[in-house]
Chains A and B, each alone.
Chain A
Amino acid sequence: MLEGNGAASEAMRLARIGVVSAYPVTPQSPIAEVLSDYVSQGRLDAEYVRVESEHSAMSVAIGAQLTGVRTGTATSSVGLALMFEMLGVAAGLRLPIVMPVVNRALVSPWSLWCDHQDSMSVRDSGWMQFYAEDCQEVLDLILIAYKAAEHADVLLPTMVCMDGFFLSHMSQAVMVPDQEDVDAFLPFYEAKNLKLDPSDPMFINNLTPSTEFMEMRYQQFEGFNNASGIIKETMAEFKNRFGRGYQPVEAYRCEDAEAVIISLGSMSGTVKHIVDQYREKGKKVGSIRIVCFRPFPTEDLLRIVPENAHVGVLDRSMSLGAQAGPVCMEVRSALSERRPDVRVQPYVAGLGGRDLRPVAVTTAIDQMLEGTFNPAAQWLDVNENAMTIRRYTEVA
């Protein structure tokens, strides 16, 4: 039995990371703690660097990875926000660092609990992003992430996101593969690009003029283009070796569906459960789960979304000031030109640790089956007194 955090730690141990630099932040702390235990017990042959912040955690990971060693770090919420600057450095230097991100709401209001605003706010930072549905997937996706990220045609850092508490602190039975099988899947790390070597010095991250900057961004863009296919190949190879298959997008009972819910991460379990209930009643309802959000699997989505479907996207964060949350905007952008038969309805649910209650999902599905459509985001399961929850009587 492992919790999501435990599954992440196991995956990083199996990946034989040589340097750990992690700063504890709820609900990621157990990853930092368990990796520290592994190092002190001799179960992981790694240098454990106790850093003073997440900015330093990522800086150390970047420096270490530049010397040609596989590194491990993990973070969450405000920790990820504090890393922001260095996320771009890791991406621009094309360092395939893999980082579990335990999804937790961003301030303010302060929260320790799950939503996706942290990782969604860095969706354009040049990192690939995978979202796990259960603890087994946390382990598997981390191994897949290392392999795909380190491919010479990819070289992109990767976040493996898991929902805070819903996954990070949920015990589930997890198959932990043997070390020798993982070694065969994920060989010893070898730097394929920039490498810091005292005997052959070079500058990295030098001030780059406009004559070269766009070209380097374009290199990253190409890396993401290549990544789509390589992720699929890596997932197929993982299935051959370990028996568990994954896809960048997962379709569930989508055949002939009139209403389809698109979601990420642990929300999808609830959605699929409810889809089953509708199917038992003969209602044509399906679920699509986006496993790989960056690179966004546009082609797969175009293929999977059933004809004339009403698609509802459950966003666990809101792009404030926009019409919809980030996942919905992405889905709309993917479908808008090439699938005029489909309507995409934005929904927002489950912020700041609120459970995705079945009523939230059934409300959305019922609206879609009725044919109700509103281009602006519909907030599900929000208390009616939202605007007056803290009403005080002024004392004279």
Chain B
Amino acid sequence: MPITDSESGREKTVLGPCALIFSSAQTGTWRDVRPVVDQEQCILCGICEKHCPVDVIRTGDKKENGSLEIDFKYCKGCGICAEVCPQDSIEMIDEREVSGEKNYA
């Protein structure tokens, strides 16, 4: 991870585990199926957002933001959203179809 040296302003690379910003482990790398939303069919009812156990779904105001957003850094692909969707507009697809074999890259 390159970090910027505060005195010299130069970037340097450090070895081993360190973090300048605290962030939780990217659990999205555990996912092997991924929810894909049919944005046309989605009515932004927000039911999936309420059911998401890791709180990674955002349904914006349809006027401002016409799509349903999923944070794939943390989505583990549990499929609950697809299960509860009244419009059947979320499909779970094989992660490898999207990211190739290296879904952690």
A203 touches B16 (CB 8 A): no
Given contacts A207-B25, A210-B104, contact A193 B15 (CB under 8 A): yes
Residue B98 lies at the interface, judged by CB distance under 8 Å to chain A? no
Query: Interface size of A by Cβ–Cβ distance < 8 Å?
Result: 22
Residue contact A93 to B20, C-beta cutoff 8 Å: no
Query: Which residues of B from 14 to 54 have beta carbons under 8 Å from A?
Result: 14-20, 22, 24-27, 29
Decide: B17 and A211 in contact? CB cutoff 8 A. no
Q: Does B29 lie within 8 Å of A219, measured CB to CB?
A: no
Please name all residues of chain B whose beta carbon is closer than 8 Å to the beta carbon of A199 when the two chains form the complex: 6
Whether the Cβ atoms of A211 and B20 lie closer than 8 Å is: no
Interchain CB contact under 8 A, A194 and B22 = no
Contact with B along A141-181 (1 / 0, CB 8 A): 00000000000000100000000000000000000000000
A216 at the interface (CB under 8 A from B): yes
Kindly supply a per-residue 1/0 record for chain B positions 78-105, scoring 1 wherever the CB is within 8 Å of any chain A CB and 0 otherwise. Answer: 0000000000000000000000000011
Interface of B is mostly: loop
Write out the residue numbers on chain A whose beta carbons fall within 8 Å of the beta carbon of B17.
92-93, 204-206, 208, 212, 216
* B16 contact from A200, A209, A211, A219, Cβ within 8 A: A219
Cα–Cα, bound, A210→B15 (Å): 16
Q: How far is the CA of A194 from the CA of B14 in the complex (A)?
A: 6
Rounded to whole angstroms, the CA-CA distance of A193 and B14 in the bound complex is 6
Residue of A nearest to B103 (CB): A211
Across the interface, which residues of A come within 8 angstroms of B18, CB to CB? 194, 202-206
User: Across the interface, which residues of B come within 8 angstroms of A205, CB to CB?
Assistant: 17-18
With A and B bound together, what is the CA distance between A202 and B16 in angstroms?
A: 13
Is the CB–CB distance between B19 and A206 below 8 Å? Answer: yes
Q: Count the A-B residue pairs with Cβ separation under 8 angstroms: how many? A: 53
The answer to whether B16 touches A216, judged by C-beta atoms less than 8 angstroms apart, is: yes
* Complex Cα–Cα for A88 and B34 (A): 36
Complex contact A210–B16 (CB within 8 A): no
A13 contacts chain B at the CB level, 8 A cutoff: no
CA distance A223 to B25 in the complex (A): 26
Chain B residue nearest to A200 (CB atoms) is B6
Whole-angstrom distance between the alpha carbons of A207 and B25 in the complex? 7
Let me know if A94 is at the binding interface, CB within 8 A.
yes
CA distance A92 to B14 in the complex (A): 12
| Complex CA distance for A212 and B29, rounded to whole angstroms | 11
Q: Which of A94, A155, A203, A208 contacts B22 (CB 8 A)?
A: A203
Q: B14 — which chain A residues lie within 8 A by C-beta?
A: 193-194
Chain A residues lying within 8 Å of B24, measured Cβ to Cβ, are: 207
Q: Could you tell me the distance between the alpha carbons of A294 and B22 in the complex, rounded to whole angstroms?
A: 35
- Are A219 and B6 within 8 A (Cβ)? no
A211 to B104, CA, bound (A): 6
CB-defined contacts of B27 to chain A, threshold 8 Å: 209
Q: How far is the CA of A47 from the CA of B14 in the complex (A)?
A: 27
Shortest distance from the beta carbon of A219 to any chain B beta carbon, whole Å: 5
- With beta carbons under 8 angstroms apart, the residue of B6, B16, B25 that contacts A194 is B16
Residues from chain A with Cβ under 8 Å of B3 in the complex: 202
* Closest beta carbon of chain A to B46's beta carbon, Å: 30
Residues B25 and A92 in contact, CB atoms below 8 Å apart? no
A101 CB to nearest chain B CB (Å): 23
A203→B3 CA distance, assembly (Å): 13
Q: Are A202 and B19 in contact (CB under 8 A)?
A: yes
Is B104 a contact partner of A92 (Cβ separation < 8 A)? Answer: no
Chain A residues, Cβ within 8 Å of B25 = 207-209
Compute how far the CA of A194 lies from the CA of B19 in the bound complex, rounded to whole angstroms.
10
- What are the 8 A-B residue pairs with the smallest beta carbon separation, nearest first? A209-B25, A203-B19, A211-B104, A206-B19, A94-B16, A94-B15, A219-B15, A204-B18
For the A-B complex with A194-B18, A206-B22 known, give 7 more contacts whose Cβ atoms are closer than 8 Å: A193-B14, A205-B17, A207-B24, A209-B26, A209-B29, A210-B29, A211-B29
What are 28 A-B residue pairs whose CB atoms fall within 8 Å in the complex?
Answer: A92-B17, A93-B16, A93-B17, A94-B15, A193-B14, A193-B16, A194-B14, A202-B18, A202-B20, A203-B20, A204-B17, A204-B18, A206-B19, A207-B24, A209-B25, A209-B26, A209-B27, A209-B29, A210-B104, A211-B26, A211-B29, A211-B105, A212-B17, A216-B16, A216-B17, A219-B15, A219-B16, A223-B15
